[in-house]
Amino acid sequence: MKPKQLFIILAVSCLLAAAGWHTDARAQEEGGETPSVETIVNRANRAAYYQGEDGRADVRMRIVDSQGRERNRELIILRRDNAPPGDQADQYGEDEYTGDQRYYVYFKAPSDVRNTVFLVWKHVDVDQNDDRWLYLPDLDLVKRISASDKRTSFVGSHFFYEDISGRNTNLDEHELVQVTDTYFILDNTPKDQGNVEFSRYRMWIHKDTFLPIQIEYYDKRGEAYRRYTVENVSRPQDYITVTRAKMADLQSGGHTIVEYTDVEYDVGLPKDIFAERYLRKPPMEYIR
């Protein structure tokens, strides 16, 4: 790991510790028990994508290419978690369910992408592909994003479509390869190598918060080619929240930085606004 990357994740670790975020992970270790791989993966998935029952955030995206040229995007992300099916509700305790979700991403600026909308219906059933739609206002066109395109660039950034709503953890085999004072380090290998461009990805998961602080993707030759790094966190409404993150292309040298502001949870977003008919008619009461 390069010194700069080590510095960043150490800085974030200190920030988390100073903020007083603690879970039962330390207690389990002090008792001689490391959480199971399944527990670590599930808790990390929830920390990254399932805070609160729903949420909204203003997002600034800065895209920097290999020549140092910049493009900027401003967008709003809405997220709503589906409740467990009625026959499964009793199987989950509070803050345990990580099921289907819906995402609505509305672009505010610049003018050439304003009113563009990205809609996701995320499914945890591995036999059911996520549904993704992209509305292009200049063409008045709704485009379905096929499953084969989920690992391609999201609106020209270094993030992929799949990164926005998160990869289904059931698509990979997970192995705990190292436990440090601060991190659970996991290697994750896709069960179907033919459907992805990477051979594995490694995650550094903060032990006190279960927040994934860094993720590195390795190509078929075993070389790291893509890196996600959390650069800042905050605690709106007592939920651990990434407020600045970077996705870097380690081959081209380009990167994208996203910053989240005005983050709100448990807003009470209605389910019906995450429907295809709202691609052309954004719910302006939540897009402010």
pLDDT digits (tens, 9 = 90+) for 184-201: 999 999 999 998 999 999
Domain annotation covers residue 21: yes
Give the count of domains, the chain. Answer: 1
DSSP state of 18: H
Q: How far apart are CA 39 and CA 45, in angstroms?
A: 10
What's residue 147's pLDDT?
A: 86
Domain annotation covers residue 263: yes
Domain annotation covers residue 178: yes
pLDDT band per the 50, 70, 90 thresholds, residue 119:
very high
Domain annotation covers residue 183: yes
What residue type is assigned to position 263 of the chain? V
User: What is the mean pLDDT of the segment spanning 52-81?
Assistant: 97
The domain in which residue 213 lies consists of 3-278
- pLDDT at residue 55 is higher than 80: yes
Residue 1 tokens read as: 């790991």
Pairing type for strands 224-234 and 183-190 reads unpaired
DSSP state of 160: B
Are 266 and 54 contacting, i.e. CB atoms less than 8 angstroms apart?
A: yes
What's residue 27's pLDDT?
A: 44
CA distances from 139 to 116, 117, 146, 155 (A): 10, 13, 19, 16
- pLDDT at residue 15 is higher than 80: no
pLDDT band per the 50, 70, 90 thresholds, residue 80:
very high
Domain annotation covers residue 285: no
Helix (H) or strand (E) holding 42: helix 37-49
What's residue 5's pLDDT?
A: 53
pLDDT band per the 50, 70, 90 thresholds, residue 46:
very high
Q: How far apart are CA 82 and CA 100, in angstroms?
A: 5
**149-167 pLDDT, tens per residue?**
999 999 999 999 999 999 9
- pLDDT at residue 9 is higher than 70: no
User: What is the mean pLDDT of the segment spanning 257-285?
Assistant: 97
- pLDDT at residue 23 is higher than 70: no
Cis peptide before 110 (omega within 30 of 0): yes
Q: How far apart are CA 153 and CA 255, in angstroms?
A: 12
Residue of 228 and 12 predicted with greater confidence:
228
Determine what percent of the chain is predicted with pLDDT higher than 70. 84
Domain annotation covers residue 46: yes
CATH number at residue 253: 2.50.20.10
Domain annotation covers residue 288: no
Domain annotation covers residue 162: yes
